Amino acid sequence: MSERVWVDPAALAATALVVDGDRGHHLVRVTRVRVGDRVTAFDGIGRERPAEVLRLGRGDVLLGWTGPAVVGVGADRARVRWIQGVPKGDKMDLIVRQATELGVAVIVPMFTSRSIPREQPERWASRRLRWERIAEEASRQCGRADVPVIEAPQTLVALCAVAGGLAIGSPVRLTAWEGATASLRAAVEGTAEGRPFEVLAGPEGGFESAEVEAALAAGFAPVTLGPRILRAETTAAAFLTALSVLRGDLDGPTR
């Protein structure tokens, strides 16, 4: 498999491409490409183009195209907007990485009553940049030609207020909740093919009862992932995998 590098969309139409900065440094110093090596440039929104290394600098690489730009592997067919209650420590890093590998389209960090990290605008801008870098790296490693959108952190109250005002025909809304009795399969069956999904998941300790009520009022149907209580980072991987089996790429060849 050739090395992959994220480039500006306009770069795919250039006659040749110089990759410099952090991405050039990564190619030269980390992956240690050599002249003649194959590299795939992807634009982060779904297209990619094969190339080969023509020249190496101290921190930059000149690429020459070996084929046309094509549509690459993108988000899962389920088109999931994953809304995650921010857990403590660096667990959100793992969730962003795994969600990207499983084909999520959008990730929304969310504050809830039981979130250990609190709203600190001066800090969350840098955290969002960190999650964007993690999503880029995960896309590069897993072969995606697009990169999930990392939205600005929001509160559960604000998210539910917006969702509750959307018209019929909006995404299928689900929330992973330990008190639910309906299965994910039952919630998905009967939904129109092609409708995207919006999924709400809590941090450690889950949601408080008032938050569950707010989610219900906004149209999020509670579903269970089985009799065992899952950690926040396990819930994301389990839910996204199950949903992809039921409605996404893991269900078989692209329809």
Average pLDDT over every residue of 144-171:
80
The residues of the chain that CATH labels 3.40.1280.10 are: 80-251
Q: Position of tokens 């306009």?
A: 10
Distance from C-alpha of 214 to C-alpha of 225, rounded to nearest angstrom: 21
Retrieve residue 149's tokens.
């959108």
- 216 by Cβ neighbours in 10 Å (0-12 / 13-18 / 19+) ranks as middle
pLDDT at position 230 is 86
Q: What integer pLDDT is reported at residue 213 of this predicted model?
A: 87
For residue 83, CA distances in Å to 16, 21, 154 come to 39, 32, 9
More confident position, 168 or 2? 2
Residue 143 amino acid letter: G
pLDDT reported for residue 167: 46
Ranges for all domains in the chain classified under CATH 2.40.240.20: 3-71
Going by CATH, does the domain composed of 80-251 fall within 2.40.33.20? no
| Among the ranges given (86-100, 132-146, 164-178, 215-229), the one the predictor scored with the smallest mean pLDDT | 164-178
Share of the chain above pLDDT 90, in %: 53
Q: What percentage of the chain reaches a pLDDT higher than 70? A: 93
Phi/psi at 167 (nearest 5 deg)? -80, 165
CA pseudo-torsion sign 151, 178, 171, 184: positive
- Torsion region of 219: left, alpha or beta (phi above 0 gives left; psi -120 to 50 gives alpha): left
Phi (first) and psi of residue 141, to 5 degrees? -75, -35
β-sheet bridge partners, residue 82: 107, 199
pLDDT higher at 49 or 29? 49
Q: pTM value?
A: 0.89
Residue 112's closest CA among 236, 229, 201, 213? 201
Q: Which fold has domain 3-71?
A: Ribosomal Protein L25; Chain P (2.40.240)
pLDDT in tens, 196-225: 999 999 888 778 888 888 888 888 999 988
Residue 29 has pLDDT above 50, yes or no: yes
pLDDT digits (tens, 9 = 90+) for 56-73: 988 889 999 999 999 999
